[in-house]
Structure 1
Amino acid sequence: MRIAIYPGTFDPITNGHVDIVNRACKIFDKIIVAVAKSESKKPLFSQELRVEMAKMAFLNKPCVSVVGFCNLVADFSNEVGANVLLRGLRAVSDFEYELQMGYANASLNSNLETIYLMPSLKNAFISSSVVRSILLHDGDISHLVPSCVSNFIRNNKCI
């Protein structure tokens, strides 16, 4: 079975993230969306809420599972039996950071390969930080995140 991990903070999960997972489902048998605790990034949403929102986004995707993790992704990959990391690249500005992280993960786990996927053009500008900024100014995020996530945030007054 070909298993890939898509690690990230997902604060919150966006249509861009979903796009990457949908593309990866064509390549891998199982995708594990791994929601990092990422306390150093000071996420807007708790890890529990981020996991819950990601699970909602992939409810109808049987090849996708969502879990939280708080250790190194290189170690987590061993725990779940995956040797591929998925990462999204929106623009050239993402590449240098992602390349460094790919090399760092490979130095920690020589069996780990990183594969970079691009979102579709309509999702290329979306980032969680843009969504958070809009949320903090009471703006409409419904076109940037899955509808179930937008409704969840709005109905549960998550911020």
Structure 2
Amino acid sequence: MTRTESEETPVRRAVCPGSFDPITNGHLDIISRASRLYDEVYVAVMINKSKQGLFTVEERIDLIHQVTAEYGNVRVEAFHGLLVDFCKQRDIPAIVKGLRAVSDFDYELQMAQMNNGLSGVETLFVPTNPTYSFLSSSLVKEVAAWGGDVSHLVPPVVLQALRGRLSRP
């Protein structure tokens, strides 16, 4: 007996959104965990025209491709506009967000409720690994810019890109 197309198990999709400027080990931990829970995980790289990033969107996408290649079920795309529109266009019913602290929860809960109210998309909160509870891209950039060691906070390819971008003549 063969299964018809309508009887096949639907593909479970989720999105991990962010600016990822640059991607850190904390981001990678959340993406890795999501990739074990979902059939397809989209990493949506936010385009914010009013904010100048250290890396271009294309560079961020390339770095994310490199550090997530081993998972096999991660797709990386840029987006601008409403995240719920990104989700609708790709039939993604869930947003996965890492939470570092209670302060993250306050903001993320408002976003989750708004997104659900707009489109029915659910948000799943994943507690960050305590090793990365203090970590942010902004902090990594600041420490790296002052010559601090961030090698334990980002994947090697990202460290190399940071050093290249922040090297002083």
Distance 1:98 1:41 in 2: 21
Q: Report how far residue 48 of structure 1 moved.
A: 1.1
Q: What does the per-residue CA deviation read over 1:8-46, in whole Å, with 9 as the maximum and x for residues that have no partner? A: 001110000011111112211111011011234432221
Whether 1:59 aligns to 2:69 is yes
**Equivalent in the alignment of 1:103:** 113
Q: Which moved more, 1:134-143 or 1:81-90?
A: 134-143
Distance 2:85 2:148 in 1: 38
**Equivalent in the alignment of 1:152:** 161
Question: What is the CA RMSD across the aligned residues, in angstroms?
Answer: 1.3
Residue segments in structure 2 that go unaligned for 5+ positions in a row: 1-10
Q: What does the per-residue CA deviation read over 1:30-74, in whole Å, with 9 as the maximum and x for residues that have no partner? A: 110110112344322211111111111102110111111112101
Distance 1:86 1:106 in 2: 13
Residue segments in structure 1 that go unaligned for 5+ positions in a row: none
User: 1:56–1:149: 8 Å Cα contact kept in structure 2?
Assistant: no
**Equivalent in the alignment of 1:140:** 149
Distance 2:113 2:134 in 1: 25
Q: Report how far residue 88 of structure 1 moved.
A: 0.7
Q: Read off the aligned partner of 2:156 and give its amino acid letter.
A: S
Q: What does 1:1-159 align with in structure 2 at a 5 Å threshold?
A: 1-110=11-120, 112-154=121-163, 157-159=164-166
Distance 2:142 2:133 in 1: 17
Normalising by structure 1, report the TM-score.
0.92
User: 1:74–1:109: 8 Å Cα contact kept in structure 2?
Assistant: yes
Distance 1:81 1:158 in 2: 36
Distance 1:40 1:99 in 2: 24
Q: Read off the aligned partner of 2:158 and give its amino acid letter.
A: V
Question: Among the aligned pairs, what percent are the same residue?
Answer: 40
Distance 2:51 2:128 in 1: 23
Normalising by structure 2, report the TM-score.
0.86
Distance 1:101 1:40 in 2: 20
Q: Which moved more, 1:114-123 or 1:35-44?
A: 35-44
User: 1:90–1:118: 8 Å Cα contact kept in structure 2?
Assistant: yes
